[in-house]
Amino acid sequence: MLDVVIIGSGPAGLSAAIYAKRAGLEAVTVEKNPMSGGQVLNTYEVDNYPGLPEINGFDLGMKFREHADKLGCEFKTASVLGIKKKQEAEAELRAASDAVEEESGFLVETDEGVLHTKTVIAAMGAGHAKLNIPGEEEFAGAGVSYCATCDGAFFRNKVTAVIGGGDVAAEDAIFLARACEKVYLIHRRDELRAAKILQEEVMSLPNVEILWDATAEEIKGKEQVETVVLKNVKSGEIRNLDVDGVFIAVGIIPDSEILKGIVSCDEKGYVIAGEDCASDMPGIFAAGDIRGKKLRQIITAAADGANAVTAVQEYLLRSKITK
Ligand SMILES: Cc1cc2nc3c(=O)[nH]c(=O)nc-3n(C[C@H](O)[C@H](O)[C@H](O)COP(=O)(O)OP(=O)(O)OC[C@H]3O[C@@H](n4cnc5c(N)ncnc54)[C@H](O)[C@@H]3O)c2cc1C
């Protein structure tokens, strides 16, 4: 039986793999994509990871993976489909035959077979909710972004639009207003959902203009974003807004589907776990963007991976798992 199965090889999973290897744990990291790196692979430049200024996201993802490979970390390319507590899975078998001995730990079911493990670190990350409008995918990384903190600096003295009306959209507009010439905040309703204090700050900024009752219908351009097509939901009027960048802040979706019914998640689907990454199911830990926390960045994901392995080690010392 493995000591730990790490699901996902973004910054959290790769950090966990490195720490697990150095701790002498028997670990396998399962990644569904042919490449490791997670969301970082889709980031054109990362300029907030200490020691590696202005690094291309793809290169950073590769560096993380190369480090893990150099240490001899074991990887498996497969999609994890579900996790079962071993006793439960075997109770089903025992019903048919009483030859199976009492065991514990987990069965991690993948599309490439089943892994037996004492613990699991879930590091499946989270994806940004999409608008699913024409041009959104085409211009991703070419003016369309889902992360103002990450990409805002590339739009200094330019005109940008933020789409959304919640806290993240308001925070993004405030953040962008510091560097951009003009920021449009496009919201489909006639009032923001963001916290009052954020609303007040947005409204006090001279270079932020809120366009109410408007939905983005299409993003257009040649090589980069040039225009966002807006529709007034009350009048039906269509207008073209010239912008250099579009920041989409309509929510984030944690990739926690396979954990449903196994660990407790909050109302948005984030795994409820503290800094030690321990979920309410003993032996299952959640690291990175999938965990309920304030700041979802590469550095906090990598920190979670390290903390999760420390918690796994402590758990393995405490618990008596039979093979
Ligand atoms: C466009 C963009 C720009 C960003 N820029 C920055 C930046 O400049 N600086 C910064 O600090 N942060 C930035 N971020 C945020 C940062 O990328 C994330 O916080 C970080 O990647 C989270 O790491 P993670 O390991 O938790 O999850 P992820 O990076 O999401 O990795 C999760 C991994 O799990 C795998 N996976 C999911 N489900 C399964 C399954 N069932 N079976 C097997 N594998 C699975 C996925 O394929 C993926 O590889 C940016 C994000 C985006 C989207």
pLDDT in tens, the chain (323 residues): 999 999 999 999 999 999 999 999 999 999 999 999 998 886 667 888 999 998 988 999 999 999 999 999 999 999 999 999 877 666 666 665 544 333 479 999 999 999 999 999 999 998 889 999 999 999 999 999 998 888 899 999 999 999 999 988 998 999 999 999 999 999 999 999 988 999 999 999 999 999 999 999 999 999 999 999 999 999 999 999 999 999 999 988 999 999 999 999 999 999 999 999 999 999 999 999 999 998 899 999 999 999 999 999 999 998 876 55
Cα distances (Å, whole numbers) of residue 260 to 45, 131, 265: 34, 25, 8
Hey, do 2-127+252-318 and 130-248 end up sharing a CATH topology, with the first three levels equal?
yes
Q: Catalytic site residue 266?
A: no
Q: How far apart are CA 195 and CA 296, in angstroms?
A: 19
Q: Catalytic site residue 73?
A: no
Taking Cα atoms as reference points, which of 296, 321, 294, 291 lies closest to residue 308? Answer: 291
Options 3.40.50.300, 3.50.50.60, 3.90.550.10, 2.60.120.620; CATH for 130-248 is 3.50.50.60
Question: Coil, strand or helix: which one is 216?
Answer: strand
Length of the chain: 323
Buried b / exposed e over 60-86, threshold 16 CB at 10 Å, is bbbbbbeebeeeebbbbebebeebebb
125 lines ligand 1 (CB under 6 A): yes
Q: What is the CATH number of domain 2-127+252-318?
A: 3.50.50.60
Q: How far apart are CA 125 and CA 110, in angstroms?
A: 17
SS (H, E, C) 116-130: EEEEEEECCCEEECC
Taking Cα atoms as reference points, which of 129, 128, 86, 110 lies closest to residue 31? Answer: 110
Q: What pTM was computed for the model?
A: 0.78
Q: Where are the domains of the chain?
A: 2-127+252-318, 130-248
40 lines ligand 1 (CB under 6 A): yes
- Edge-to-edge strand list for the sheet holding 225-232: 214-221, 225-232, 238-242
12 lines ligand 1 (CB under 6 A): yes
